[in-house]
Amino acid sequence: MTKVLPVFLVVSLLAGLTGCNVVSVDPGTESVLVDKPYLFGHGGVRPEPVKEGRIITWASTNDINVVITPQTVHVTFDDFSSKDNILLDFDTALQYRITDSVKLIEKYGATNWFKNNVQSQYASIVREAVKGQTMSDMMSNPSTASTVDKEVTSAIRTLVKERGLPVEILDVTLGRARPNEDVLKQMNETAAQQQRQKTLVAATVAEEQRAKEQEARAEADNAYRNKLGMTIEQYSAVTIATINADACKAAKACYIVPSGTSVLVGK
């Protein structure tokens, strides 16, 4: 490193004195050179890109770096209608790779090739694919989501090929479908109403069950009373006596007095 640095400084100094530039290309990128002679010579895009490393060019030559490793462009779509007319939102991801940096710069430009040649058609392709599926399938069925992704990917690849773009489409993912805010609010309100209805039904069933249990207990008590040959008053007295006896067993002190008698208990 200590030997390379002085050499680089010397080259840079000489380049500056002779009206030249030093172009440095990082790994994963290519540099496309565009000659723009001040006085003589033929300008334009050079036919071969500069690979990783360094090259000295004329001061009038521009260098445009192009990333050739896989990249991803994110595009958001709102209010795309599903098969059952539910408005859905998507945050899609399109992964691609530049295959010919020189052709890209020469014919389509380094930055706006997607916006100018793919984006509007991409929206139409996604819209048509979503239109053929229900909201439920798009949101919760992995098989449906995978099918739609493959359909959109194939259509985009065909579009890129027809337009001659030097781009390889690696994959397209629509991501998880989301109902738009208004639809989501309605869904939440509906879910809340359904939950309230379920709670009300459960409470009604519980009340009916308790009523049946009490009725069955009353019938059992009445059958037992008839078996003993007791009147209602007699059976009630026995029941009260049994309750009092159980209470006395659990109490620290117990006082039994005739019915109707007032008792004052002191400390």
User: What is the mean pLDDT of the segment spanning 110-137?
Assistant: 92
Q: What is the mean pLDDT of the chain?
A: 80
| pLDDT at residue 190 tops 80 | no
- Contacts of residue 17, defined as CB under 8 A and 6 or more positions apart, other chains included, come to none
pTM for this structure? 0.59
User: What is the mean pLDDT of the segment spanning 174-180?
Assistant: 84
Quick: pLDDT tens for 65-109. Answer: 889 999 999 999 998 999 988 889 999 999 999 999 999 988 888
- In terms of pLDDT, which residue wins out, 38 or 169? 169
Identity of the amino acid at 234: Q
> What is the band of 259 on the pLDDT scale with cuts at 50, 70, 90?
low
Token reading at 94 = 């399109």
DSSP-derived 3-state class of residue 127: helix
| pLDDT at residue 17 tops 50 | no
Instruction: Report how far residue 24's alpha carbon sits from residue 30's, in angstroms, rounded to the nearest whole number.
Output: 10
Q: Using CB atoms within 10 A of its CB, is residue 83 exposed (0-12), middle (13-18) or buried (19+)? A: middle
| pLDDT at residue 153 tops 60 | yes
